[in-house]
Structure formats: structure tokens, C-alpha cells
Structure 1
Amino acid sequence: MSDPLPPYPPLDPTTYDLIIIGTGLPSSVISAAASSSGSSVLHLDPNPFYASHFASLSLPDLTSYLNSNTLSPPPPSNNTHDDSSFLSLDLVNRSLYSSLEISTFEPDILEETSRSFNIDLSGPRVVFCADESINLMLKSGANNYVEFKSIDASFVGDSNGELRSVPDSRGAVFNDKSLDLIEKRQLMKFFKLVQTHLADEKDVKVVSEEELESSFVEFLEKMCLPNKIKSIILYGIAMLDYDQDDGETCGCLLKTKEGLDRLALYITSIGRFSNAHGALMYPIYGQGELPQAFCRRAAVKGCIYVLRMPVTALLLDKETGGYKGVRLASGQEIFSQKLVLDPCVTVGLESLSSLTDQQKETIRVLVPKEISSKEKIARGICIIRGSVKAEISNALIVYPPKSLFPEQLTAVRVLQLGSGLAVCPPDMHVLYLSTVCDNDDQGKTALLSAMSTLISPHVPENLPSDSVDENVTAEAKPLLLWRALYVQELVKGEFGGNISSTSSPDGNLNYNEIVESAVKLYEQLMGSEELFKEETSQEDTTEDNDGDGVEIED
């Protein structure tokens, strides 16, 4: 049963330049940018927490959210006023999640600590030190409200349990015991070529235009790199999903130009911040801190926030078919020039048959689209006791296509996080897993295979000790305490004139594509050529940093 709505007083004012529903990362970026430009913004969320599908939640809240996030009728409206000048269309929330499985193996232990977790709904996800989300935080001033810590190490794994290090410096290459001397020299030679290309020296043409348009995997083969180094570059650094050696299953081979761009992001991320080790960072307290940082920035600039407030209906002008406003669950009608909606909000199908062509055009972004076969991502979350890699707390592991089993079509990414990031109790770790998939069974099979490679199966207390596999015991794999598996639909944001929608969390490791889509949508909405044109100052922050994390600064 859903919680009753709090007794909110009527909102004042009732008219805004922009209303935004949902506080996910794209919505929060748009809210902060619009508020900074002087627009009046009302930002609503039906949830009792910020960040929507990008949230970091306690264990009970995560379980409740996943179990309740299903297609449901709109909440009853308290509004009895019928304004004949408006056409009211009911809005519903469709679920982005399917095939949910939640298993608890140590309920007593977890019950005591369940509120000590900050678990990401859209993991695994990290931030590259040089990616667009960091640049946008610096430009907007949102960096004042979030702190990061480095990911200790990255690995490329296989079904035998071998984890090969992904080098993040010249020293790391030469200290890597899995590479022989010739392989180390080949890798350093390749990195030097990439850096020369990125330097963009006019007199030095190290990569031809023809090579830039060829496939990246062909370019790597031309460099005579051995397969294990190719695998590290393609899946541990460029973070590709599909098998680049199999054109039939891949569908779209990455071009060399795009591959070098991905390497550039990785290389320029290393050493960008003096107190960050390697290329990757993670926000303390979870990924939900990033949307909240932009929300705080928007609030400083005058944006009004209301949580626990669903929007039940869309208001259209009966004569013109144009957008006018929304009706809240409280019954109040609020008006705006433009509206941005969460990706799970849609219009009731029964309402469509009676609409005119103009009215259908106004709400076109809300009409459910036919989903193509590859617009899903399987996600997994494990709470474990122990670490998948001795003496390393925070680590990224990538399993390239076919590395776990022959039918594995896409890479599986695994992110382990420890208590130093304030996401779990001291004696535990959280594992996030994801893989792009055609269907639910395919994705979950790949995730379970990665889990079985990294984690010991749970052994009941009453099971005789001599029945436990000695090999499993000898490997000292971490013990599984809790697990969730689910498949998320991927929804692209869409500009629709006065009514637009934002993107759901995607299948990437970082936020580059999500941020780019939010920037593009903002420019289409507001006609602005540049977000956060006026630089913000540091005095707006109210919190001092006294930890040992990474504070990002210009």
C-alpha cells in the first residue's frame, strides 16, 4: 500500500516557465541550467527521495522500490473543479523493470545493517576524471556538493578466475606480471602512438583518414597487438559492449576515430586531479549524490522542489490542442510554458482514441513506442562478505564477450565497492553487475555466470563441512549474503516541443551520453547555446570537506 500524500499547502505561484517531473540526472541538469538562466522552474517527484532511477537507496527502500515500480493507475485526484477550457488526460507510470528476483541468504545479519547501505539503482557506474559530467559539475558549481574517491584498480577477467590488470600509468604497465617484456613494449608503443595522435601536431600524421574510418579492431590488429592486449584496450579501456571480432553479432563495429576518442577519455582522466589515483572515481554515498548536487544548485538559483507529489493528469487547451499545464495528486492545477517528464511517465492508452490529430501531436513523446530487441540491460546487485580481489576494496572488472561462456554476446561489467565509500558496513562489499541484452533470460544468464566466477555459493549452516567443495574453500571467494537481479528497459529522451521526456539510465559505465542528451534537450527547450554561461562561485556551498576523498576543482 502506498504512503498517503502529505498535507501540502497549495503551491504559489501557480505558473512557471518550466515544470520538470522526476529528479533523475538528466532532469536535474536541465533544472539547474534553466534556473541559472533565470527561468522559473518547478521540480516535482512522486518519490520520497531525490534522483529517481539514478537513486542510491537503503536496502529496504531499494527492495520496496523495485517491487512496487509497476504499471499502475494514477492516484485519485482531490480536484473537484472542472474547467471546461481544458482537456484532462490521465497519466500513468509504466515500469522500466522486469524479471525481478531478490534473494536473502543471511536475513539476521542484513536486518541489523539494512539502513547502513546506499545501493545504486542504476549500477555499475563510475565517473571518468575527464568526462562530461565532471566538466559540467565544475561549470555549474555542483561540484561543491559532492565528493569522490578513486577506484583502486581495473581488471579484465575470464571464466577461470584470472583477473588481468588494466594499466593506468607507464609504471603500471611495467609492474604488470601478466605481461611479458615484449608485450609491455608493444603496449607502451601503442599508447605513445595514441598520445602523439591526440597531441594533434599538424606536421605529424600518425593515423591516416582512411585508418580513422576503418574499424578499431582492424587498427589494433595492424598494430600487431596480441589478443590479450587487444581485449584490455577494447573492453577494459574503450568499454565496448559487443564482440568486435564477430561482425554478425556485433552489428556495428566501432570506428578507429571513436575508439581513439575513448582512449583519449581514459588517458586524459589519469592524473587530472592530484588526489585521484587512476582514471576512475566514484561519489561517496553513492551515484544518487550526482543528481542531488545539481538539484541543490538549482535550489540555490530559485528552483522550487516538491517530493511525494505525483502528477495525475495533463491539461491541454480544448480549442488549440496545445499544452497548458498539469494536475497534481493534491488536486491543484499548475501551468507552465514547457514540461519535461520522467521516462516512465506515459498517457493512458484509452485516452488516445478520442484525441484530435493536433492533440496527439502535442503529446507524441508520451505515446508508448514499440521497443526494439536490443533496448534492455540486465542489472545485478550482490552484498558479499569479503572481497573478490585480496587487499583491494574498490575495483572494476570487465568480462569481454565469450570470456565466461561461448554464447556470451556482450561484455559483463562488475563494480565492487567497500565501506570507505559509505555504501555498506565495514565488513561487507557491494557488487554491481550489468550487461546489454536482447532478452531477459540472456542477460540474467550472463550475470549469473559472472557471479559464480567471483562469489562462493551460499552454504546453509546445517550443511556438513565435508560436503563443501575443497576448491571453493581454498579460493576463499567472498560469501554471498543478498542478491537482486532485474532487467531495465532503455528509453531515449525525446524533444517534443512544449512536452519533452528525459532518458533512462543507459548501459554505459559513465554518464557521457546521458549528459550529452540532457544538454541537447536543454538547448532545444530553452534555445540556449550554452549551459551555465555565467560561472558560479564557491561561496554557495554550505558544507566543508573534511574527508580524504577527491574534491574536484578547476
Structure 2
Amino acid sequence: MAEQDASIEPSSFDLIVVGTGLPESIIAAAASAAGKSVLHLDHHSFYGAHFSSLPLRDLLPFLRSNSPTTTTTTIEDNNSDSNNGTDYVALPLKPRSLYTHIEEHQLVSDDDLPLLLGASREFYLDLSGPRACFCADAAVDLMLKSGASHHIDFKSVEATFMYSSGENKLVSVPDSRSAIFKDRSLSLLHKNQLMRFFKLVQDHCQASGADDDGNGNGNGNGNDRRISDEDLESPFVDFLNKHRLPPNIKSIILYAIAMADYDQDTAELPKNVVKTKRGIERLALYHSSVGRFVNAQGALIYPIYGQGELPQAFCRCAAVKGALYVLRMPVTDVLIEKESNVYKGVKLKSGQEIFSNRLVMGPTFTLPPPSVSSSISELQKESSESVGLGMVKEQVARGVCIIRGSINADISNLLVVFPPHSLHPEQISTVRALQLSSNVHVCPSGLFVLYLSTICEDASRGKESLHAAMKTLLTHPSERDESTVTKQNVDTEEKTKPTLLWSAMYVQELTEIEGPQDSLDAISRCPVPDGSLDYRNMLESTMKLFHNVCPGEDIFPEREAVEEPDL
């Protein structure tokens, strides 16, 4: 990695990447593997940007701070010394924060707080949690294919639970045939219904695989086992109703396995409706994830030391292939050719100008105006006004909690899903809560980290749902300190709830990134962290972006077969 104050050599690259978030890091690694010369810059002193894992002391300052102030270059006439007699102009690159409605609650005593903060460096707190990988999803395949798996280790998320508001308890999500029959919360009738449905999905997937094996349309027998195209295009909830699955089974399939974000019984917008095709794919992914790795007890795995290890792993892959890394180096301006309005390069805070064919930026950097005016004064005004990230579609409310004790005394790492309306009548979207322990090295021994999130259009409603989930799962220290008489009136389940010691809550914008425009099609921006539990949607966007940046190139060309490692 180059020194911050050193001159970067060479001064011309095929690709410059600004920001070390996960999408940016994947693109840098893939471009390097394709033989491109890559310069990867970040104004932070750490890797990961908005996908990073931070110590406790650093989390709130990162959230509260605006993006670092960049040097605003004054753009004058063509003969100005600021352009050094060159044939291009410098457009100021302006960052913008993703986060709003930030709050912090310190619930430990004044005596305990220094101990908690003293262990700050033992915490690795994810900025965009909760997030995990399905064992069989594309993100894991990409890590194996790229070699990033050599730089990162995982632990199993041992179990998934769903909150049943009717029973006011957590019920386990069966992830295998044996788990279904061992589940005491399901009647024998419901177990048989669930097994038949899973068998239907399995037969469909096998038949679809036979049709896609290069032998045309299969042998006909496979097609007979496939779910009809009409059903595949119907809402998944209608398909489940068609098979007369009871409400509790439907809820488990829709929200804890297919991971639907919104209430599927009342979803009005097409984008919120999970179609049967998508639901079947998610069921297949879930079940193929169970048992893929010998030491993984469930369908999900989580990186040791936090999700910030993922971008670092891809950055290491890029560095091995020759990419140059410089941290603590802000990019202040984007250089545009005066006559053609074509992207030329960037200007660094150090004053050095670096040139490249393409530029990829993190999601919080604003693009220069899509068309450059012949008037420099108008160009300066347009650049200063075009500071939007794109259209804000939705928001995701996120929470981070430090707790004493586990939600389930026998399990260290687990996922809890709260279906829509299970916490309060106005809850229209799913709330997910991921508990992690010290065995993944994200907190000191004896403590746990709990991440929560929910998609929302209104920040206050989103935070209301998170608070309700926290109240359901946790107790406050004040509740523990009640009189003995009061404690005797609390049931056993309530007594075993973990104690909340510290929490932070914030709302992150989810924006729709606009594609390249006009003469600035050499500049691209990466997606923001989304509201999903896994990385699949982000990865799909990143793949499309890579093929735009490196047309005709394969992302991480096939290497020799690599044995899948144990966790």
C-alpha cells in the first residue's frame, strides 16, 4: 500500500476505484484478475467503508459525522491557473452521508460504562447489519472462485427462529427432514403437509435441472414434475394457499425461509410481492445451504471478526494481482476534458492528478453533472447543485445492541424473524434480528451483539418496530433491579431474557443508483448496502456494474477446482 503523502506512480491506470466498500472491492479484485491496472483509494484509514466493522468507540462518530469535507476547486475561465493550462476542468467531488435519525442509549451504570468502553477494541460492530451468507449462495461461490475464501473464516449461525405473536414465543424454523420431525411445535398433520410441500419443491428443482442440462427440454417426465408457468408467475402466498398450508407454516416459509420483506397478504406494490418462482428459488437455496459445509449447523454462516472482513478479503485478492492501494487519501475532483466532456481522471487531496479510462465510486460520492456546459461558471454551479445520490426509494432502520446473556441459552449465534404485524398492527415489514457471540470474535466473552433491521418508508415507524422487537427479546437493567416481590411475579421465560447494556439506532437511505449518462459513461457508482439479510441483490448489481466497466471480460475466470473448505 502506498504512503498517504507519497506521489503515486504510475500516474495512469485502466481503472480507479474510490471507496473500499464490498461492491467496490469486488470490482477492483475482478478487474485486477482480468489484467487491468487498478488504483484503489479510500479517504478512511480502514477498509470497508459502509460495509465495515468498527470498534465500539468508533461506531457513533462514523454515523454522526458527515462525509469528510473535500477541497472545493474553484472553476474559472479556460485560461485560469487552476487548470494549469490543461485541456480539462476539475469538478468538485462531494460526499454525502447515508444516515439519519441516529440515537444512542447507554443503559449500563456509570461504574460499568468505562469497562464497556475500555473493551471497545474487542468489538467489531457492523455498519450494515444484520447480514449473513447462505452457505450455497452466489456470494460464497464468488469467494471460492476468486480466492477470497483464503483470507476469511466463517462460523455457523446455528439456528433460525420465528416469533409467534399468538403464542408469544420463538418457534424454531425447521431446515431439514429430521428437524421437521423433531419439531415439537408442529402437529403430525402439519409436519406431513410441510414434508409434501418440500418434496414438491424438490421435484420441481430436479426437473428444472434436467431440462437445463443441455439435452433440450428434458425427457418429458421431468416436465411433468415441474410447477406450471402460471403458478410460477403467481404470488407465492397464493401458491401456498392453493396447497392449503396452515397460517403458521405459511408464515415460516414466507418470512423465515423465502425472506419476504413485506406482508404478502396485503402487499399492494408489485415490487413488494414475492412471486412463486422467486419463492421456490429461495426455498431451494435454503435447503441446499443446509449441510453444504460439514461444520455449519444451519443454512447461514457469518465471517469471523465481522462482515468488514469481506471487502478486505477481496482487496487482498486485488493486491495480489497488482492493484495499488492508498488509504487516507481523499479524491477532491473529477477531471473532465473541456472540448469533448469526456472523463479523464481524478485529482487527489495531495494535489496529484491521476488518469484512468474508467472510474468507479462508492455510493455516497456524488456524480458530476451528466452534461458539461460550455460556460465554466454554469458548470461550477451545476456541479455544486447536483449533489443527490439518486432517487431515495425506501429506508432501512438498523439497530445495534450489546447484551449480556443469550436469547437462547443453548445457542450462541442465531437469527430471529418477526413477520409483519407480529409486533404491532402497523408493522408492515419483516424485522430481522441476528445475535452473535464472542466465538465469532465480535465482542468480549460473556457479551453478545444483536443486530436488527427493517425496511421502512417512514423512519419513525421503522424505529418503532425495532424498539418493539428489542422489548420482546431483551430486558433493561432497571427491570432486573426491581424488588424481589416484583421478580416473583415475573414468569420464568421473562427472567431468562438477556439484559440490554447499550444500543444504537439509525436509519439508512436506500437509493436507486442511476446508470452512466451521456459522455460521463466512464463513471459508475456502486450500490448502497441494502436491507436484505444476505448479499445476493448487492452481488447482482455489482456483477452488472463489472460487465459495464470491463465489457467482454469474465468475472474471475475459472481457476482449478478448489475443494470446499470446512468452517
TM norm structure 2:
0.88
Q: Distance in 2 between matches of 1:365 and 1:295?
A: 33
Matched, 1:145 2:141: no
Per-residue deviation, 1:369? 5.3
Cα gap change, 1:49 to 1:366, in 2 (>3 Å): farther
Query: Paired residue for 1:133?
Result: 139
Partner of 1:30: 27
Q: Secondary structure of 2:366's match?
A: strand
2:195 to 188, 194, 197: 188
Tell whether 2:107 aligns with 1:105. yes
Aligned equivalents of 2:524 and 2:25: distance in 1?
A: 14
The Cα of 1:480 is off from its aligned counterpart by: 0.7
The answer to whether the Cα contact below 8 Å between 2:162 and 2:172 also exists between their aligned partners in 1 is yes
> Once the two structures are superposed, what CA deviation does each residue of 1:311-364 show, in whole Å capped at 9, x if it has no partner?
111111111111111111111111111000110011589x988768x989x999
Q: Distance in 1 between matches of 2:408 and 2:258?
A: 23
Whether the 8 Å contact between 2:372 and 2:379 is mirrored in structure 1 is no
Q: How much has 1:83 moved relative to structure 2?
A: 2.0
After TM superposition, list the pairs within 5 Å mapping 1:299-338 onto structure 2: 299-338=319-358
**Would you say the 8 A contact 1:141–1:536 is kept in 2?**
no
Instruction: Determine whether 1:16 maps to 2:4.
Output: no
Partner Cα separation in structure 2 for residue 524 and residue 76 of structure 1: 29
What residue is the counterpart of 1:546 in the other structure? none
Q: Is the 8 A contact 1:156 1:398 kept in 2?
A: yes
Is the 1:132–1:512 Cα contact (8 Å) retained in structure 2?
Answer: yes
Does structure 1 residue 174 correspond to structure 2 residue 176?
no
Counterpart in 1 of 2:221? 203
Residue type matched to 1:198 in 2?
C
Instruction: Report SS of the residue matched to 2:256.
Output: helix
- Residue 504 of structure 1, aligned match among 494, 503, 528: 528
Distance across 1 between alignment mates of 2:560 and 2:13: 23
Label 1:192 to 1:359 Cα distance change in 2 as closer, same or farther (>3 A).
Answer: farther
The answer to whether structure 1 residue 229 and structure 2 residue 245 are counterparts is: no
Structure 2 CA distance for partners of 1:465 and 1:194, relative to 1, 3 Å: same
| Distance of aligned partners of 1:390 and 1:398 in 2 relative to their CA distance in 1, 3 Å threshold | same
Over the aligned positions, Cα root-mean-square deviation in angstroms equals 2.9
Residues 395 and 417 in structure 1, CA contact (< 8 A), matched pair in contact too? yes
Task: Sort the Cα spacing of 1:161 and 1:110 in 2 relative to 1 into closer, same or farther, 3 A.
Answer: farther
Match of 2:542 among 496, 504, 518: 518
Report the Cα distance in structure 2 between the residues aligned to 1:250 and 1:446, rounded to whole angstroms. 23
Match of 2:472 in 1: 453
* Separation of aligned partners in 1, 2:29 and 2:141: 14
**Mapped contact 2:391–2:513 kept (Cα < 8 A):** no
Task: Provide the secondary structure at the position in 2 that maps to 1:134.
Answer: helix
2:499 to 455, 474, 479: 479
Q: Percent identity?
A: 49
Correspondences of 1:354-365 after superposition (within 5 Å): none
Give the secondary structure class of the aligned counterpart of 2:13: strand
1:77–1:331 CA contact under 8 A, matched in 2: no
Cα contact 2:398–2:506 (8 A) shared by 1:
yes
1:272, distance to aligned residue in structure 2 (A): 1.3
In the alignment of these two chains, the number of paired residues is 534
What's the secondary structure of 2:506's corresponding residue?
strand
Output the CA distance in 2 between the equivalents of 1:477 and 1:308: 43
Secondary structure of the structure 2 residue equivalent to 1:150: strand
Structure 2: distance between partners of 1:60 and 1:182: 52
- Give the equivalent residue in structure 2 for 1:545: none
Distance 2:375 2:468 in 1: 49
Kindly provide the CA deviation profile for residues 49-83 of structure 1, in whole angstroms up to 9, marking residues without a partner as x. Answer: 10110001110121221121x256414789x8642
Name 2:130's counterpart in structure 1.
Answer: 124
CA distance in 2, matches of 1:320, 1:141: 40
2:522 partner letter: N
* C-alpha distance in 2 between matches for 1:6 and 1:468: 59
The one-letter amino acid of 2:51's match is F
Distance 2:321 2:48 in 1: 19
Q: Given the superposition, is the C-alpha separation of residues 460 and 8 from structure 1 closer, same or farther in structure 2, using an over 3 Å criterion?
A: farther
TM-score normalised to structure 1 length: 0.90
Gaps of 5+ in 2: 75-80, 211-219
Map of 1:55-74 to 2, 5 A cutoff? 55-68=52-65, 70=66, 73-74=69-70
**Residues 44 and 537 from structure 1, CA distance in 2 versus in 1: closer, same or farther, beyond 3 angstroms?**
farther
Per the TM alignment, residue 389 of structure 1 is displaced from its structure 2 partner at its CA by 1.4
The answer to whether the 8 Å contact 1:386/1:479 transfers is yes
Quick one: which amino acid aligns to residue 499 of structure 1? I
Alignment of 1:371-520 (within 5 A): 371-372=391-392, 374-459=393-478, 470-471=489-490, 474-496=494-516, 497-520=521-544
Matches within 5 A, 1:242-321: 242-248=262-268, 252-321=272-341
- Is 1:285–1:423's contact at 8 Å kept on the other side of the alignment? yes
- 1:33-53 deviation line (CA, Å, top 9, x unaligned): 100111000000111110110
The secondary structure found in structure 2 opposite 1:305 is strand
- CA distance in 2: counterparts of 1:192 and 1:180, whole angstroms: 18
Alpha-carbon distance in structure 2 between the residues aligned to 1:479 and 1:285: 23
Query: In 1, are the aligned partners of 2:100 and 2:507 still within 8 Å (CA)?
Result: yes
Indicate if the aligned counterparts of 2:401 and 2:451 stay in contact, CA closer than 8 A: yes
Q: What one-letter code is carried by the residue in structure 2 that aligns with 1:224?
A: R
Instruction: Provide the rounded CA distance (Å) in 1 between the counterparts of 2:546 and 2:18.
Output: 15
